[in-house]
Amino acid sequence: MMSAANGLPRALSGKILVTRRLPPNVTARLQRDFNPTLNPEDVLRTPAEWLQLANGHDAILCCATEWMDAQFMANLPGSVRMIATFSVGYEHIDVAGATARNIIVTHTPEVLTDATADMTMLCLLAAARRAREGDALVRTGEWSVWTTEMLLGVHVTGKRLGIYGMGRIGRAVARRARGFGMEIHYHNRTRLAPELELGAIYHESAERLLAVSQFLSLNAPAAAQNDKFLNEAAIGRLPDGAVVVNTARGSLVDDDALIAALTRGKLAAAGLDVFAGEPRLDERYRTLANVFTMPHLGSATHETRDAMGFCCLDNLSAFFAGKPCPNALNDQASHDQDSR
Ligand code: DGY
């Protein structure tokens, strides 16, 4: 075990600032293995407040709710040597700024792949089969008679699903969608090896993918090149009556363009788990009947949230033991499309 500057073994000197309340099993291990400053009331704080609190801490365990931009990194106290984010997405962290200050940044890939892919299928099916309207009909008591034409939706089996961003989550979506009889198409910057592609049809350009996507699933990270990827031009390329699903990040969507297309019937429906500026979102989404919404629940299962927490702790343990962190981002900060 490496020694810290104060002569104590590093594993015992790990003073961790924890920005959000974490699952009980994760908190218990944190308290067993480290010296954490917890946030039991789950208070949301400003970056300036986190900077002040970070004084004297060796590491920060944060969530995607804490934005750590270049200015934040520049002002971080010198004691902070590591940031572990409880998320696979890391657009909220200026990794380059952290690297410049020799701060390790880790995230939580793999452990949330299945839960997020499940959520993608939930959004896809709910949007296609009008779950929001059906549920409302039952709950309001307005369902008085069964009819042959009541709330007809979009058939899923046999349709083409375009996956934008065929990383871990995209591939897990493909596996599930195959079970629903869908034909899988995808776009990535680089084509997958055949054993990962599993028969999915590769499109060298996003434009070509869009043109065939009767269903479109966004599974790419919130990188600059993906900002408002689904804009008016992109939607224009989709087949009429397409269904759009987003479980990645709200920044991939131009809300004005999506809402206009859903309103005028260019798109049949959308299933959205994420929104630009969430938890605030474009008010029009609340009233559009053909939009199925969820409050960013992609990874929200007991098992997955525990696994995300343990992943953070594994990385912290490695760091304080002087070993390489298994999920360090600093050497792979290029935001590849397949990094989710
Ligand atoms: C992630 O891990 O990136 C999820 O979207 C939760 O923020």
Q: What is the pLDDT of residues 114-151, one digit of tens each?
A: 999 999 999 999 999 999 999 999 999 999 999 999 99
Alpha helices in 187-301 (DSSP H): 194-197, 206-212, 232-237, 255-264, 284-287
At 8, the pLDDT band (50, 70, 90 cuts) reads very low
State mean pLDDT over 164-181. 98
The confidence score (pLDDT) of residue 339 equals: 52
Does the beta carbon of 304 lie inside 6 Å of ligand 1? Answer: no
> Mean pLDDT across the stretch 36-40?
98
Share of the chain above pLDDT 90, in %: 93
As a three-state string, the secondary structure of 260-281 is: HHHHHCCEEEEEECCCCCCCCC
Is the pLDDT score of 5 beyond 70?
no
Angle at CA of residue 183, ends 180 and 187, nearest 5°: 125
How far is residue 317's CA from residue 266's CA, in Å, rounded to a whole number?
A: 51
81-95, 110-124, 324-338: which has the minimum mean pLDDT? Answer: 324-338
Please tell me if the CB atom of residue 95 comes closer than 6 angstroms to any atom of ligand 1. Answer: no
Indicate which atom in ligand 1 lies nearest the CA of residue 64.
7
Residue nearest atom 6 in ligand 1 by C-alpha distance: 87
pLDDT in tens, 159-170: 999 999 999 999
In this structure, which residue's CA is closest to atom 2 in ligand 1?
A: 87
Contact in structure between 169 and 176 (CB atoms under 8 Å): no
Q: Is 298 in the pocket of ligand 1 (CB under 6 A)?
A: yes
Taking phi over 0 as left and psi of -120 to 50 as alpha, with beta for the rest, 158 belongs to left
The pLDDT of 18-25, averaged and rounded, is: 98
**Band of pLDDT at residue 331, cut at 50, 70 and 90:** confident
pLDDT tens, residue by residue, 226-282: 999 999 999 999 999 999 999 999 999 999 999 999 999 999 999 999 999 999 999
DSSP state of 226: G
Q: Which residues are catalytic?
A: 249, 278, 296
Residue 287, CA distances (Å) to 97, 164, 209, 293, 308 in order: 41, 27, 30, 11, 34
Residue located nearest, by CA, to atom 1 of ligand 1: 87
Q: Whose CA is nearest to atom 4 of ligand 1?
A: 87
Q: Which residues of 276-310 are buried (b: 16+ CB within 10 A; e: fewer)?
A: beeeebbeebeebebbbbbebebbebeebbbbbbb
State the pLDDT at residue 266.
Answer: 98
H helix or E strand, kind and range, residue 139: helix 131-139
Cα 85 to averaged position of ligand 1 atoms, centre (Å): 9
Q: How far apart are the first and last CA of the chain?
A: 32
113 touches ligand 1 (CB under 6 Å)? no
| 296 alpha carbon – ligand 1 mean position (Å) | 8
Using the predicted structure, report yes or no on whether residue 4 has a pLDDT greater than 50. Answer: no
Ligand 1 geometric centre to CA of 137 (Å): 32
Query: Do residues 214 and 240 lie in contact, with contact meaning Cβ atoms separated by under 8 Å?
Result: no
Name the band, by pLDDT with cuts 50, 70 and 90, for residue 333.
very low
Which domains, and CATH codes, for the chain?
15-111+301-320 (3.40.50.720), 113-293 (3.40.50.720)
How do residues 185-215 score in pLDDT, each as one tens digit?
A: 999 999 999 999 999 999 999 999 999 999 9
Neighbours of 330 (CB within 10 A): 15
Give the dihedral sign, CA 244/231/64/225. Answer: positive
Percentage above 70 pLDDT, the chain = 94
Q: With a 6 A CB cut-off, is 226 part of the ligand 1 pocket? A: no
Q: What is the pTM of this model?
A: 0.94
pLDDT grade, residue 301 (50/70/90)? very high
Radius of gyration of the chain (CA): 22
Would you state the structure tokens that stand for residue 54, as one six-digit string?
């970070």
Computed over every residue of the chain, the mean pLDDT equals: 94
The answer to whether the CB of 88 is under 6 A from ligand 1 is: yes
